[in-house]
Structures are given as C-alpha cells and as structure tokens.
C-alpha cells in the first residue's frame, strides 16, 4: 500500500533540495540577487528529482511526468513566495505595520513607503535586466520579455473581465 505513494518522497526531496540550495546560494552570493539563487535552487531540485526517480523507474512514464509537473509548480510557487517578499507592496506594508505595533496613520505609512520608492525600485530592476534602457532622462523599451508577459496578463484580464489600466 505504501509503495503506491512512492511519488511523494520523490517530489518532497526535490522541493526541499530547491529550498535548501536557494537559501544557501543567496547567503553565499547575496550580490547575485534573489532570482539567480532561485535558478540555482531549481536546478538542484531538478537533479534530485531525476536521481530519486531512478529508484522508481519501473513506474509509468506518466507518473514521472506528473512528478516533474508538481515540482515545476512548487518551484513556481516558491519563486512567487520569494518575489512577494522582494517586490510585494502588500508584504512591505504588512512589514511596516508589523514593525509599528502602536499603528501608523496613512500619512505615516506613506512616508515609510511611497509611490516614488516603488517606481524607483522598479525602474532600477528594469534597467539592470535591460528590459528598459535610459537615454538621458527618457526611458525606452529594451528586451521585450516583460512586455510579452504584460500582454498575456492583459489577455487573462479580458477573459476574467477584470478592469485594467492597460487592457485595450
């Protein structure tokens, strides 16, 4: 009966490997940034998944593909978890309020975390990854991959009929 659940430890080992490698990489190479550490974690977890799957190679191919699918979903979720901590506005507001148990007025909250900081951080990231290039004080599009993602999100917004600033 327990052998029917062989897939669980295979996926679990891969997921744990992803997290451990990501934390270790970021701690050892913080200047590389969170995203590079997540790539290292993903590769480490994938290697562990393949290695652990070899012990169960008599199982159907479809089951191994499902394991890989689950691992990719986990890696994606873990990416979003870290991305929320890195860029999430609500997370930042939560942390600001958590550090001020007596509470903050809206004005005080905006003094701690304002639109200006949000825009500056994002422009910084876009310039660093060449998604945007600067020409004097003007910003121009560079690498179009984020634009492609923007279009995809716009399409899903249309399907779900969610209002958007940028749905045409």
Partner 1 sequence: MSVVFVGPILFALAFVIHWIVWQIRRPQATGQALIFLLTATVFGGAAVLWLCGRAEPGLARFLPGDAGAWAQTIAFGLAISAAYVLTYPAIEVESPIMVIIDLIQRSGPGGLERSELYRRLDDDFLVTPRINDLVNEGLAVDGDNGCRLTEKGKSLGRIFIVWRKILGAGIGG
State which of positions 28-67 bind partner 1 (CB under 8 A): 30, 34, 60-63, 65-67
CA trace torsion 120, 92, 82, 161 (10° rounding) = -80
Q: How far is the CB of 49 from partner 1 (least distance, A)?
A: 13
- Of 9 and 54, the one with the shorter C-beta distance to partner 1 is 9
Q: Is residue 143 within 8 Å of residue 149, measured between CB atoms?
A: no
Q: Binding residue for partner 1 (CB under 8 A) from 9, 119, 128, 130?
A: 119
Q: Which stretch binds partner 1 (CB under 8 A): 40-48, 50-58, 145-153?
A: 145-153
Q: How far is the CB of 13 from partner 1 (least distance, A)?
A: 15
Contact between 131 and partner 1 (CB under 8 A)?
Answer: yes
Q: Binding residue for partner 1 (CB under 8 A) from 51, 73, 128, 130?
A: 73
Q: Is residue 57 within 8 Å of residue 83, measured between CB atoms?
A: no
Q: How far is the CB of 47 from partner 1 (least distance, A)?
A: 20
Q: How far is the CB of 89 from partner 1 (least distance, A)?
A: 5
Q: How far apart are CA 108 and CA 104, in angstroms?
A: 6
Q: How far is the CB of 80 from partner 1 (least distance, A)?
A: 4
Q: How far apart are CA 118 and CA 30, in angstroms?
A: 22
Helix pair 7-28, 34-54: axis angle to 10 deg: 150
Site string for partner 1, 78-97 (x = CB under 8 A): --xxx-xxxxxxxxxxxx-x
Picking from 18, 9, 36, the residue whose alpha carbon sits closest to that of residue 74 is 18
- Of 55 and 122, the one with the shorter C-beta distance to partner 1 is 122
Q: Quick one: CA dihedral 58, 63, 65, 67, positive or negative?
A: negative
């Amino acid at each position: 009966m327990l052998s029917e659940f062989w897939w669980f430890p295979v996926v679990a080992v891969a997921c744990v490997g992803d997290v451990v490698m990501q934390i270790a990489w970021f701690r050892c190479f913080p200047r590389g940034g969170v995203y590079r550490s997540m790539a290292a974690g993903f590769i480490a977890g994938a290697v562990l998944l393949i290695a652990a799957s070899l012990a169960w190679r008599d199982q159907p191919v479809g089951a191994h593909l499902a394991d890989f699918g689950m691992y990719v979903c986990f890696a994606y979720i873990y990416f979003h978890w870290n991305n929320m901590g890195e860029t999430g506005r609500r997370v930042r507001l939560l942390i600001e309020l958590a550090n001020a148990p007596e509470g903050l007025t809206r004005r005080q909250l905006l003094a701690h975390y304002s639109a200006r900081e949000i825009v500056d951080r994002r422009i910084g990231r876009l310039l660093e990854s060449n998604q945007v290039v600067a020409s004097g004080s003007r910003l121009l599009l560079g690498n179009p991959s984020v634009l492609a993602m923007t279009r995809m999100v716009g399409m899903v917004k249309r399907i779900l009929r969610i209002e958007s600033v940028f749905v045409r």
